[in-house]
Amino acid sequence: MTSTADAPRSPGRPRSTRADEAIVDATLDLLAEGNSIEALTIEAIATRAGVGKATIYRRWPGKDALLLDALRTLKGPAPHCAGRSVRDDLVLLVGAVGQHADPRARKIMPCLVPEVNRSSAHRQAYEAIVEPRREALREVLRRAIDRGELRADIDIEVTMALLTAPMLTQRMLQWYAGDERMLPERIVDTVLDGLRVR
């Protein structure tokens, strides 16, 4: 018989409780309603979550740390790469770009852009969220270069932007008139093959 009560308690942060979830949820609600990060206060979050400010400060040192946790929740877990072919791996990773577990993301994420440029704390929070996903993509490209499938002289960072940015703008603005489920393949194949007649 397995009992969670018998499992060793992990040190550090207390486990997520219903109050923690309510606090993260209240933060995301306030952002989705159009409140800027600057306008957001611990007091407003506490009121919305139905908890005291002390409850928030027991778990998070301040607004920036709470915000980082809330935005991580919004993005959900990164996809796992099967490592079969460079094309399959790229299609999988491109398809996951901007795909958020939480519907509030579409309202919140674009408006965070100006904030990221205004404050280095917000820039660090943004990097902490996106960098693990970027690294997975970088690895797929590096492995394919090592195997001799992709040109060794490509600019990895430019290539990553070519693969991810069109999908990101699709999630934001729905520019693609065709079937969105086919878009990751179209993007990957066009970038792999290039435009020039040979």
* Of residues 109-128, those binding its own copies (CB under 8 A): 110-111, 113-114, 116-117, 126
Q: Does 136 bind its own copies (CB under 8 A)?
A: no
143-164: b (≥16 Cβ within 10 Å) or e: ebbeeeebeeeeeeeebbebbb
Cα–Cα distance, 2 to 65 (Å, whole number)? 34
Residues 28-87 that bind its own copies (CB under 8 A): 34, 36, 39
Contact flag: residue 22 with its own copies (CB under 8 A)? no
C-beta closer to its own copies: residue 59 or 100: 100
Establish if 138 lies at the interface with its own copies (CB under 8 A).
no
Q: Which residues contact 14 (CB under 8 A, 6 or more apart)?
A: 59
Does position 162 bind its own copies by CB under 8 A? yes
d(CA 50, CA 82): 43
Residue 72 CA to residue 45 CA, distance in Å, equals 17
Q: Enumerate binding residues for its own copies (CB under 8 A).
A: 34, 36, 39, 106-107, 110-111, 113-114, 116-117, 126, 148-151, 154-155, 157-159, 161-162, 165-166, 168-170, 172-178, 183, 186-187, 190-198
